[in-house]
Chain A
């Protein structure tokens, strides 16, 4: 599976689309907001840089309601304080099959909103209103994307847990990600792939970001070194593997198909991050923080009260379970479809919703993702 060409969030705004199922991603941007603001203010305030034309990039911008959040936040910061900036170049990056058309279709409304926005209240009176010059850059961030020294601020949210490829030669029977039963070589292969990729990412950005420029990155991680210690960080995929194996039992999918499928995903621990950062050496780590975010169960609390009374069979789907299943489907369907075929998707995700519902009902609290937010400064 050519990740770079296949992976994309689910298009449109249907029930299982990314646009309708991206609240976790939105929450993450909220957590990161103060860290982003601080970083941008530092850049603007730096007298050494005296920037006139500021370059910012959002890597893994996807499409949907979250896509313009970063630009909006940065525009707010820029207008709140006087600086030498007169021009803002904005680059939205994602892989080749991302739905850029729908981002572009919503640009006129976004520009309208910006024009109508009364910056006068929050605006430093000396600071002119700036209109952003927005462009889209398709391609993998595991490699060069921008000309040398053209960026002042790079952001990436909920994207760096996607690897550039599935680790080679995995022997991970019946599973699609790291699992308690995965052999050590699988865990090592995943870790190595992440470290290799993250190093390439850092090296590429180091060429593109000016000295003193900054990066704020948010992505899935885990609190412990042991990759299967924290359930919230991997169990969503354990259940998906179980759903696929249920299809195998029903004869709808060949077992070999599941054995040969593994997600190009990795949730690193702090030690791995620090190791790569240190080794690559182009960035100073200013801030590293972990946030916990609930699995996407639909905003309400975990519903232990079943609609019909008791949870009496394996086929009940709760609204929590359905929402969680939709949120995962929006993200992984492109890859599953490419490997297993379109026809089986509904069945797989129906089963997945059932398994998630059961898991959630048996959990006392909502499982939580761990999300890293890291703020870096490019060394001179």
Chain B
């Protein structure tokens, strides 16, 4: 016993403010093993124990815990935002660690991203002005690893190469066919083998992904895994990724024939949005992106909906290349619509980056479409599948009295105006039911169905009944299976 006191004493000397752990006043010896049905289970004892909260202060390179929640940052050292809570019982000690990790990322609109005089691609992710200066004045050549979707590479590969050459960057460009079918862990690992061979600095040489959503998702996952976190940058080249994939944190690959079953919530350090990439996008893919824009409009923004109603064809025809300032100072629909789409998306994603809350308006159009998309792969593009889902859900909303007939009609007309499919024969009622069943399992036992309650307004519902869903389905097929509105 004497020797033990010495050690406690020694440990005590190191931390004079530490409560002596030996002197726990309320030690409860559970002499009798507790049956789970008894009130006084081991766990309840544990939870009733007094908890001491410790803050963490760094002094001379070492972190020390100090009792108290609000330890003032003083001359002593840096105080962490993390806290440790400690309580002791007869079985031992329980520590609870609470650590906030802050994710910061930038979404930057720019023009002429591949013009060698534009710094953005290489330096746009650096927010700290000092750091930026240091990099600019350094003679050391920059190193960058770039993954490009194959199709994008054929169109823009030489421009990207010219940019990097002109900026004297040590680079490696990896062109890959990034499709929904090969969106797998194997592809992510293949990318990582190349990254590893090339060699990048752990923190200062972000991997750059240039392509559509699939490309950005796969590269994002690869980067998240490498060294447990490697910064990466997204350059979306499709409209869909411009307003959707680039703006949130999600990365992922498909697994066991399910969409995005594996992935992370690690955001890129930055996303660089250059509208000019969209000019080489086929018309069908512009519609595809418009579906996600419409989603945000239906959920949150009447003004955006009306813009898509009236300007949808213009946007399709002009491929979002209309100038920012039009003649007569008219408002440019491309600028406004992309801006509003991103803003509304950021509003919904930023406070729920890791999906702590499973009630998400942005899930609209994503309850049934994953199953449908995977089933008929590659017949439907992602946005097309989303739109079919949304069209059906509009009928559900109508059936539940949330929308008027006029509103329903306007929405479907708008969808057709954007040249999006509003029905699909493979979207059977069985598929609908299966999707909703999966949704239940995937969302903690609640269906959490976002439905429009007006134009540009929505709510989450958990109590949709089978009857309403079926009636809506019948009407939907009845009215839209011919491909146009009867």
The yes or no verdict on A and B being binding partners is no
* Residues of B in contact with A (beta carbons under 8 Å apart): none
